[in-house]
Amino acid sequence: MSDADIHFYFDPVCPFAWMTSKWVRMVQAQRDYTVDWRFISLRMINAAVDYDSQFPPGYEAGHTAGLRLLRVVARTRAEHGREAVGRLYATIGARVFDTETDPDHADGGYPRHVPPPACPSAPAVPDHLGHGGRLIAGPGSPTR
């Protein structure tokens, strides 16, 4: 357990966690708080849920994509320390949730690919986690 002021749990594909994380970053900067960015998996939490009857189409693929992203975040934490997790999450979240999309695109405008991390001290994305060095993230994305 870290001695951080805030323990923030997130799944990289959760829009509510992303919105809250932006507020946490503002508070962190204003109050000089430390944040321990921790993981939670929507796919694992909903493992016993029948996605077809309980969620709109695409949610299972999106939650499964979150597992892939969490593996990258866990590797980042293991190789670069807890501080790197917040930077990586900021990069992934900005690309997934804050990137302008084309609503006429076949996937409904949701960003399908998250590029390799563009933040300092983050590892390259392993080939086995995505296609062509890119991670799949979002409804309608392949789950393999």
Quick: pLDDT tens for 15-57. 999 999 999 999 999 999 999 999 999 999 999 999 999 998 8
Domain edges within the chain: 6-136
CA distance 60 to 86: 25
Fold classification of 6-136 is: Glutaredoxin (3.40.30)
Instruction: List the beta bridge partners of residue 8.
Output: 37
pTM here is 0.68
Residue 61 CA to residue 72 CA, distance in Å, equals 17
Q: What is the pLDDT of residues 92-141, one digit of tens each?
A: 999 888 887 656 655 544 444 444 333 444 444 444 444 333 443 334 33
